[in-house]
Each structure stands twice: as structure tokens, then as C-alpha cells.
Structure 1
Amino acid sequence: MPRPPVRRAAPDTDDSDLPELTPEQLSELRQALEERRASLVANIDERQHAERDVSREVGDEMDEANAEGATSLTSKLLERDVRVLAEIDRALAKMKEGTYGMCEGTGEPIGY
């Protein structure tokens, strides 16, 4: 699922005039995050199983080299998915706390 576009203020724009997120916008963003989270959890589970399956296969040196390359790629993708999952969990926690959509540095609304 593609990410929703991010609206960025121009560098010389004062962010204090941006409106806070509406309940509808928050709901839409929460749904998108929850869908992305479910997809990542499935990907992580699939990659963990694939990694275990590859490590069990025994073959000649060429097979081992191919398996090492596949395991390395799977490992990197798994790390990325785990990192993104943590970011999504943090965003969902901020929604629950009521601080989602606010700049951590200034406390100003980020905008939709």
C-alpha cells in the first residue's frame, strides 16, 4: 500500500498556521497505519520462515553461496521491516496519547 503524501511546509513558512488534524484525518491515517502494520507483520513472519528454510537446505558449494546471498538479502529486508514496524507502532502510540501530528521539537501541528 502506498504511503499517503506528506505535505511539507516551505522552509520560510510559519507552521503555526497549519490546522491540527481532524478526527476524520486521524481515523484515515490510523487505518492506513494499521493496514501497513498488518502487511509488515505478515512479511516479517514469511521472511523468518524463509530464512529458517534456507538455513536447513544442504547442497554443494554453489548452493551454499546462493543460500548465503539469499539469506543476507532476506536478513536486510527483515531488519528494514522490523524498523518500519517499530516506527508504525510509535505513530499508533502517539495517536493513542493524542500527540500524533504534533512536531516533537516545537509542539506545533504538522498539518495533513
Structure 2
Amino acid sequence: MNNSATVLDNGVTKEDGRYALPSTINIDLPKDYRPSSDEEYMNPRQLAYFRNKLREWRDQLVEESRQTMENLRDEVRDVGDEAERATRETENSLELRTRDRYRKLISKIDKALRRIEEGRYGYCEETDEEIGVERLEARPIATLSLDAQERREHLQKQMGD
């Protein structure tokens, strides 16, 4: 493998047959654009599509986290009776668990965005094979092909038994 990167006209780089999309490069996509298996896998348009999808998802999670924190901050702490206080603490605990889940998701989204910039997005971390447009459409933060994911889950199940 030669490790020479080619910079294309639009600023996108191509190395070893894979495109990398720097965060500074914007690609205008038609409103109805959806990645298709008919086009070159993880071409700049597909990368831009998934980058947009990931960024929107991230923004949504950040906003929901911000609202959660505001709700917890604004809440009146000295509630009347014990039952009401217990209910409120349970709700707060749920809110904080949700926020923690969002934080972990945001971290995975950030990693996916970095993979787009580095030309590694859409390829399995274990086997280096294509993850597939359909799988990424359903789970844009996927890092494993379906086969590799199933192998990992099977191993985890064996270890847990």
C-alpha cells in the first residue's frame, strides 16, 4: 500500500482509495439526497450526508442535555411531603441517567465525525471491510460490520455464561 494522499479539487483528500472529508470542507447536497449502493462507497457526498446527520443528532442531544440541566436547576428543592420528595428524586435520577447516556452517545458521534475527517468512516474497525450504507443509515455511529458485531456479541454472551 502506498500512503500517498491526493487532494482533490474540492479540498477532499483521497488516500488508499478512501475519501477523507475535513470539517472545513462543505459539500452542498440536494435536499432529497440519500446515499445509494449504486454510487462509489463513502464518496464525498456520502461522507457529507453522514456528517450532516451526525452533527444534527449531536446538536439535538446537546440541546436536550442543556434543557435537562435547566429543569434540574430550576426545580424547587423543598417539596412538601416525603412521597413527593421521593418521586422527585426518582425523576431526577432518571434525568441524570438519560443525560449520562447522551454524554456517551455524543462521544461516539464525535469519534464518528473524526473518522469522517480521517477517511476511516464506514469501514469496520476489526475487519476493515465496508460496514454498508443501510447499516450506517440505521446506526450512523456503527464501527463494526454486521458480521463483526454479531461475533463480538456472541463472544460477550459466551463470556457472560
Superposed counterparts of 1:16-55, under 5 Å: 20-54=41-75
RMSD of aligned alpha carbons: 2.0
Extract unaligned runs of 5+ from structure 2.
1-33, 35-39, 134-161
Are the equivalent residues in 2 in contact too, given 1:21–1:111 (CA < 8 A)? no
Q: Structure 1 or 2: larger helix share?
A: 1
SS at match of 1:100: coil
State the partner residue of 2:106.
85
SS at match of 1:29: helix
State the partner residue of 2:77.
57
2:116 to 82, 95, 98: 95
TM-score normalised by the chain length of structure 2: 0.54
State the partner residue of 2:89.
68
Higher CA-based Rg: 2
Q: Structure 1 or 2: larger strand share?
A: 2
Aligned residues: 95
Higher relative contact order (CA 8 A, sep 6+): 1
Extract unaligned runs of 5+ from structure 1.
5-18
Percent of pairs with identical residues: 34
Q: Given residue 101 of structure 1, which amino acid in structure 2 is its aligned partner?
A: G
CA separation in 2, counterparts of 1:51 and 1:94?
34
Shift of 1:61: 1.3
TM-score normalised by the chain length of structure 1: 0.75
Q: Given residue 85 of structure 1, which amino acid in structure 2 is its aligned partner?
A: I
